[in-house]
Amino acid sequence: MSERHTALRSMHDLGLAAWFGGSLMGAFGVNGAAAQMNDSTQRLPMASAGWARWTPVNAAAIGAHLAGAVGELVTESPRVAAQAGVARASTLKTALTVGALAVTGYSRLLGMKLEKAGGPPVEGVTEPNSQTPSNVASSQRQMRMLQWAVPALTGALIVVTAYMGEQQKPGEVFRGMLGRAGGMPKGMGALMAMGAAKKKRMSMSGR
């Protein structure tokens, strides 16, 4: 059975990259650019139009990431069960994914509310001014926090994914298997020490 799962890894990584990158660019680029418009009544409509065009792409990216993540979890399930630390990392990754999905979904609901608000005067896309209706201002204040929560959570997912990639190195797998088994088998430590000493002597004699 092949140990390569290039398609699953590609779906996982590309989807997550688009999810993280799109949310970060939107917060800095779309919202930041719209806030520079001179007409304060056009700031929300301009940003809403940009986010609406990105939404289908973002949904596809999230779907690809989830499909790849589930596929990887299935293919790596034997190692999750046998290698110490992998199950804990998988649990953390799942929690971060659920959190990112929840924040992304709620952010989109707020975005739709702001989109339906039309063109009220605002200071920025996530900053109301004294003339902004109270319901719009409330959604903007929530969006101000959530626009950074999505890249923070997806960025944390990238870090955890990198850590889990390190866990797949042969040395890490070996130590994790021993850890899950309750420690190094009797005599294994002595054999490893003898092997290391022999390797050192051979290295020194070859100088």
- Answer yes or no: pTM beyond 0.85: no
What's the token pair of residue 136? Answer: 């719009």
Check residue 30 and report its DSSP letter. Answer: I
Residue 158 near residue 20 (C-beta atoms within 8 A): yes
The pLDDT assigned to 112 comes to: 94
| C-beta separation of 137 from 128 below 8 A | yes
Query: Which one, of 83, 80, 77, lies nearest residue 180 by Cα?
Result: 83
Q: What residues contact residue 14 under an 8 Å CB cut-off, 6+ apart?
A: 61, 64, 65
Neighbour-count burial of 107, counting CB atoms closer than 10 A to its CB (0-12 exposed, 13-18 middle, 19+ buried): buried
Domain residue spans of the chain? 6-168
* Tens of pLDDT, residues 169-193: 777 766 767 766 555 444 444 444 5
Percent of the chain with pLDDT over 70: 83
CB 107 within 8 A of CB 146: yes
